Amino acid sequence: MVSRDDLIVKSLGPCRVDSPLLPLLEQRKRSYYNVDETDRVLIDDTASALIARVPADQIPGFEPAGPRRKIFFDPSKTRAGIVTCGGLCPGFNDVIRALVMELHFLYGVRRIHGFCNGYQGFTPKYQRPVLELTPHSVSQINEHGGTILGTSRGQQDPVEIVDCLERMGVNALFVIGGDGTLRGRRRSREVEKIAARRSPSWASRRRSTTTSCSSARASGSRPPSRWPPT
């Protein structure tokens, strides 16, 4: 039986930086679609299953997706990386575009790198380029299929991945993918362990990358003059 402890998401440490989204979050009202960050999305969906859980404070649930009022990284000093892995699927470019727009306009992250051809992009022997992603460069990629970053399957040396990220100063990595990416989860755990031994301040962000993006904001052929659109 799944317990509450099984669903705890590990953090890098106390979040002390006020989120740039704080003014927007204060205006939100709780609803079926927007729950407070301290709430839980229950794993049990029947009354009998909930009744069977004793005590009540041990009812298992997932962390609700969405932005937080306090964050760990200082956006002005954050360098982000984006990589697409696994098989192609609809929406890759939409997610890349939404991430860049969200990071740049709402969080104030100005340095965003795109690693090409999946985890090969971190490995020197493949000599894959690293792209500078800006609102201008991604403004119309949602009109095209595939992924502008390319993708690949296969395992790469986690030590080489960490070496690359450390050399470039990337401290927030967004991994976008589906089944192929999930199959490589063991390797990402190895990367996290290696990075933690070297520097506790570095982390590979392995949460679902789409939770920080709005699919509505990702739509449209041209970037709005103001972000988010009003």
Residues 135 and 32 in one domain: no
Residues 43 and 100 in one domain: no
Q: How do residues 128-149 score in pLDDT, each as one tens digit?
A: 999 999 999 999 999 999 999 9
> In this model, does residue 125 exceed pLDDT 90?
yes
Residues 46 and 109 in one domain: no
Tokens standing for 175?
């991994």
> In this model, does residue 225 exceed pLDDT 70?
no
- State how far the alpha carbon of 225 is from the alpha carbons of 99, 111, 135, 219, in Å: 17, 20, 11, 14
What is the pLDDT at residue 139? Answer: 97
Task: Please state the domain count of the chain.
Answer: 2
What range does the domain containing 82 cover? 73-218
User: Strands 79-84 and 111-115: what pairing?
Assistant: parallel
R_g of the chain computed on alpha carbons:
19
Among the listed ranges 134-143, 171-180, 200-209, 217-226, which one has the minimum average pLDDT value?
A: 217-226
Residues 195 and 116 in one domain: yes
Residues 153, 90: Cα–Cα separation, whole Å = 17
User: Does any domain span residue 227?
Assistant: no
Q: How do residues 1-13 score in pLDDT, each as one tens digit?
A: 788 888 888 888 8
Residues 199 and 118 in one domain: yes
What is the pLDDT at residue 155? Answer: 80
Strands, E assignment, 143-223? 172-176
> In this model, does residue 100 exceed pLDDT 90?
yes
Among the listed ranges 33-37, 53-57, 134-138, which one has the minimum average pLDDT value?
A: 53-57
Residues 94 and 140 in one domain: yes
Residues 179 and 93 in one domain: yes
Residues 90, 102: Cα–Cα separation, whole Å = 20
Can the peptide bond before residue 228 be classed as cis, meaning omega within 30 degrees of 0?
yes
Residues 118 and 51 in one domain: no
Residues 56 and 77 in one domain: no
Residues 208 and 137 in one domain: yes
User: Does any domain span residue 229?
Assistant: no
Residues 23, 69: Cα–Cα separation, whole Å = 9
- Bridge partners of 42? 61
Residues 107 and 194 in one domain: yes
